[in-house]
Structure 1
């Protein structure tokens, strides 16, 4: 799977963001050592359900998030907290939704507000839910990875749909030890596509391609 991030800020700020990524390599190495295994579950939970709902909704404009379904993390899974009526689903992702080799994979401080559109809610959200179920039931990173790959291959998890995307516009999210509060952006989930067709990763381009090839 490839995830393309489209920044909404000025191009100069995007360039700065990329420079910060490079300068943060030492921090990433430190995070890899610091978060070598899962922390106690309580550290991944937010103390206030209302605070988590508000943080989830901050991922998209109010015109979208106020009518979206909102899910919050419980001790065993994500739980429906607010019913929706526009097809969008908003939640606060935790660290295990990061790429499998991300040094912040077990970082209990990570909070990533995100609102999936209807297509992403049908095809990508089930993967997030499945990952969460596996992690919170005590599975290792390797076991989670194997289960997701098998689920995709056996079509127990849906293939990515055309038009699947999400909003990550919140200024309150904490995305990694290295990046902290990263700038607002959109994400487009595309399977088996060439990032070059979008102009991704080219000099001066505001589009960055992230490749999670193990998910297909």
Structure 2
């Protein structure tokens, strides 16, 4: 892990604006906004539509991901109510453990224990989030990648979604640590309505 200050955004208003850029303004302007501090995420703006927008850091990825500790990662995400209740808590819990000094190796064990003890709830049907920020920095290779939606699904539904097939805009990624398969649906526009470059690679 890099020094903590490399993961923090010193200007709270800048982090709020970045979090809101995850989704179109018609959604994000009424969403709750959470920002990262030295002990975890706290609510900076209360919402009214049940959505929650955050700027995820590298440790949102699986613990074996090469970008896990990358302090440059800034991934604005806006979760719908079903994801707020059943998927976002995993990331918030991971963040709290990490900032308290828990090792990367122990995080999967802690997540598994939290599921088994019912501290973490089963994934709700319809859980999804928006990732449409033109300012997103997802990793050192893909950087801004594509604007996209993410659907959080139990089990392994890739075949029923037609994911990963030639020409399909749907990409799947299984994450056994968090007991979820993430279905990525690629979009053509950023949240501000501007067109994303069609030449961007998957």
Q: Same fold (TM over 0.5)?
A: yes
- Indicate the structure with greater helix content: 1
1:194 aligns to 2:154 (yes or no):
no
Deviation at 1:135, TM superposition (A): 0.4
Q: Which residue of 2 aligns with 1:52?
A: 15
- Return the alpha-carbon distance in structure 1 between the equivalents of residues 10 and 35 of structure 2: 11
Q: Which residue of 1 aligns with 2:133?
A: 170
Where do residues 5-84 of structure 1 align in structure 2 (5 Å cutoff)?
A: 38-84=1-47
Q: Which residue of 2 aligns with 1:211?
A: 174
Deviation at 1:171, TM superposition (A): 0.7
1:129 aligns to 2:92 (yes or no):
yes
Q: Which residue of 1 aligns with 2:107?
A: 144
What runs of 5+ residues in structure 2 fail to find an aligned partner? 180-202
Contact kept, 8 Å, 1:171 with 1:182, in 2: the verdict is no
Structure 1 residues 84-122: Cα deviation after superposition (integer angstroms, max 9, x where no partner): 000000010001001221100000010000000000000
SS of corresponding position for 2:156? coil
TM-score (norm 1): 0.81
Deviation at 1:214, TM superposition (A): 2.3
Deviation at 1:215, TM superposition (A): 2.1
- Specify which of 94, 119, 124 is matched with residue 161 of structure 1: 124
Deviation at 1:52, TM superposition (A): 0.2
Q: Which residue of 2 aligns with 1:107?
A: 70
Per mean C-alpha deviation after superposition, the further-off stretch among 99-108 and 64-73 is 99-108
Q: Which residue of 1 aligns with 2:188?
A: none
TM-score (norm 2): 0.87
Larger RCO, structures 1/2 (Cα 8 Å, 6+ apart):
1
Q: Which runs of 4+ in 1 moved over 4 A?
A: none
- Specify which of 117, 123, 145 is matched with residue 182 of structure 1: 145
Per mean C-alpha deviation after superposition, the further-off stretch among 137-146 and 72-81 is 137-146
Q: Which residue of 2 aligns with 1:29?
A: none
What runs of 5+ residues in structure 1 fail to find an aligned partner? 1-37
